Structure 1
Amino acid sequence: MATMDAAERLDRIKGGMYGVAVGDALGGTTEFMSAKEVQTAYGYLMEIIGGGVWRLEPGEVTDDTMMTLCVAEGIIERPDQPMEAIGERFLAWYRTNPKDIGNIIRTVFHKFEGNWFEAALLADLDMGQSGGNGSLMRCLPAALVYAKWEEVERVTRMQSRMTHYDPRCDEACIIYNRIAYRLLQGEALQPVVQQELIGTEYEDLLTSEPNCEPSGFVVHTFRWVAHLLLTSKDFSDVVQRAANLGGDSDTIGAIAGGLAGMHCGYGQIPKAYADKILIRERLDAAVEGLHALRRAE
């Protein structure tokens, strides 16, 4: 395991946060399209151009990045007990009437009356399921802050259960953030992904491709994320392949992009991608806050 100094750690943290935003902004163009429709409309999408079902501005992000920022900023405010601070930011973001918000999360917000876990349970009972990818898409900041794995796991599960009652959601978040945690120790991406899949329902991805659509079901999403990380050659390849899948392409791109960005570091994310993101100032502030807390840890 390599020793990581403060400058490299900052580069990895910034790479993770920008990786989420780039994958989100690139994939937002093709969300809900089929792979064939993507190919007909764009050939092979490689640039952040906006548009799509949400009529995005080039470089505009969706709920994936915005809720990741809510988690990051809540942790920065109250690293010991961040749930209330995260929840306040969720609701403040919701009041901005965002273009894109998942049905499970919207239902939880409507059910919330002071207890997040209760609202998540009520939403699950109301909808008959809560196995979406909305907690996986935003969980990365927990792995960027805490030096002890026990704290990473605690906050990872907590932020997931605030909106997603289905245990498959926090299980996927735990696998994902264990990979992220190890990347911040200096380990290499693909060997870590391979090791963390062993003994899980995703282990078959070590030898085969996903046997599912790139949908918003957390198991399907994580299968595609793991496959992209195991088979792509670099950061650009990860986020471009995610975007060209169609389906829930912005979320798959954001989740896979977060780990790919951590692996390569911000300095290796193409400038044409990073500079395109419209909320760079807020991202940069979150990165600085996360890094300061990690140094204090």
Structure 2
Amino acid sequence: MVEPLSLLDRIRGGLYGVAVGDALGGTTEFMSRTGIQKTHDYLTEIIGGGVWDLEPGEVTDDTMMTLCVADGIMEQPDAPMAAIGEHFLTWYRSDPKDIGNIIRYVLSRYDGNWMEAAFVAHMDLGQSAGNGALMRCLPVALAYANLEEVERVSRQQAKMTHYDDRCAATCSMYNRIAYRMLVEGAGLEEAIAVDIAGTEYTDLLQPGAQPNCEPTGFVVDTMRWVLHLLLTSNSFEEVVQRAANEGGDADTIGAIAGGLAGIHYGYAGIPQRYAERILIKERLDVLSERLYALRLGR
């Protein structure tokens, strides 16, 4: 009989899931499916390279901004936005290799008011419905055991950089799915089915359903691919490998899908050759313990 996963194993699995999906997909970001097949046949290992010339096991903005959200929550759990923002700015000033256009625009123009900076970016760029808020939001569900708090902070952290309401709504949906697994003990498919019922994603529950969109950085396209991969894969490994081999915004889709898959399968369900490859694994281990302690304390 398989022992149930502990809360710590699920939290650690969620953080490592983001990092592994990011590191694996970073190799194939912006590539086409055909281009990946020609270059890698079928990518199964974390090898680095790609458009960002990554070291094997190096992560991109997806994981680093996830850590910013987690660190901000750890510092000020009752009102984390200011602390999260300071971590965003510190990371931005480190001159990261990879940073999305919307987030770069907001961080370069921030002048004391996050919502104002996000609105200006939305107006100047003509849209702000990217997936940069969704890619980093999982620590909210890992830290808080109250659903109302999970939804509130999920939306708030999204609005700091992405004015479009679809971003906040998708972050809230994503973290509700995580909440149902962490708190209610729901399985992955059950948790997804509850939250996408009656939404634009409902069709993905039908047998044989396909995303019917490219794996782009548009938050709705991203969420369709994430849900499709989670609903039609049978292991953590399969989820992140399929994300990487679709190309497009592969690192972000891999990170987002990997986060929920990591909660579902737990750290124990992540192949050790992946977990050990991550360059910041010590930081992930420490943060997992801290989030677990915060959750117990709350």
Smaller-chain TM-score bracket: over 0.9
The runs of 5 or more residues in structure 2 that have no matched partner are none
Q: Which residue of 2 aligns with 1:276?
A: 277
| Aligned residue pair count | 293
Q: Which residue of 2 aligns with 1:104?
A: 102
State yes or no: 1:193 paired with 2:200.
Answer: no
Deviation (angstroms), 1:173: 0.5
Deviation (angstroms), 1:289: 1.3
- From 150, 153, 171, the equivalent of 1:152 is 150
Q: Secondary structure at the match of 2:204?
A: helix
State yes or no: 1:228 paired with 2:226.
Answer: no
Measured in 1, the distance between the counterparts of 2:137 and 2:269 equals: 23
Q: Which amino acid aligns with 1:212?
A: C
Moved more, 196-205 or 14-23: 196-205
What is the TM-score normalised by the length of structure 1?
A: 0.97
Q: Which residue of 2 aligns with 1:142?
A: 140
Moved more, 283-292 or 30-39: 283-292
Moved more, 66-75 or 183-192: 183-192
1:33-182 equivalences under 5 Å are 33-182=31-180
Q: Which residue of 2 aligns with 1:287?
A: 288
Moved more, 184-193 or 167-176: 184-193
Q: Which residue of 2 aligns with 1:217?
A: 218
Q: Secondary structure at the match of 1:98?
A: coil
Measured in 1, the distance between the counterparts of 2:194 and 2:211 equals: 18
The runs of 5 or more residues in structure 1 that have no matched partner are none
Question: Could you report, residue by residue, the CA deviation over 1:252-279 in whole angstroms, capped at 9, with x for unpaired residues?
Answer: 0000000000001101210000000001
Identity of aligned residues (%): 67
Q: Secondary structure at the match of 1:17?
A: helix
Deviation (angstroms), 1:158: 0.5
Q: Which residue of 2 aligns with 1:19?
A: 17
Moved more, 178-187 or 158-167: 178-187
Deviation (angstroms), 1:59: 0.1
Deviation (angstroms), 1:281: 1.6
Measured in 2, the distance between the counterparts of 1:196 and 1:94 equals: 33
Q: Which amino acid aligns with 1:197?
A: I
Question: Could you report, residue by residue, the CA deviation over 1:205-244 in whole angstroms, capped at 9, with x for unpaired residues?
Answer: 1122111100000000000000000000110000000000
Measured in 2, the distance between the counterparts of 1:273 and 1:79 equals: 31
Q: Secondary structure at the match of 1:183?
A: helix
Deviation (angstroms), 1:57: 0.2
Measured in 2, the distance between the counterparts of 1:201 and 1:268 equals: 30
Q: Which amino acid aligns with 2:282?
A: E
Q: Which residue of 2 aligns with 1:254?
A: 255
Q: Which residue of 1 aligns with 2:238?
A: 237
Deviation (angstroms), 1:114: 0.4
Question: Could you report, residue by residue, the CA deviation over 1:114-171 in whole angstroms, capped at 9, with x for unpaired residues?
Answer: 0101100000011000000000000000001111111111110000000000000011
What is the TM-score normalised by the length of structure 2?
A: 0.97
Measured in 1, the distance between the counterparts of 2:61 and 2:75 equals: 21
Deviation (angstroms), 1:290: 0.8
Q: Which amino acid aligns with 2:229?
A: L
Q: Which amino acid aligns with 1:189?
A: L
Measured in 1, the distance between the counterparts of 2:261 and 2:34 equals: 25
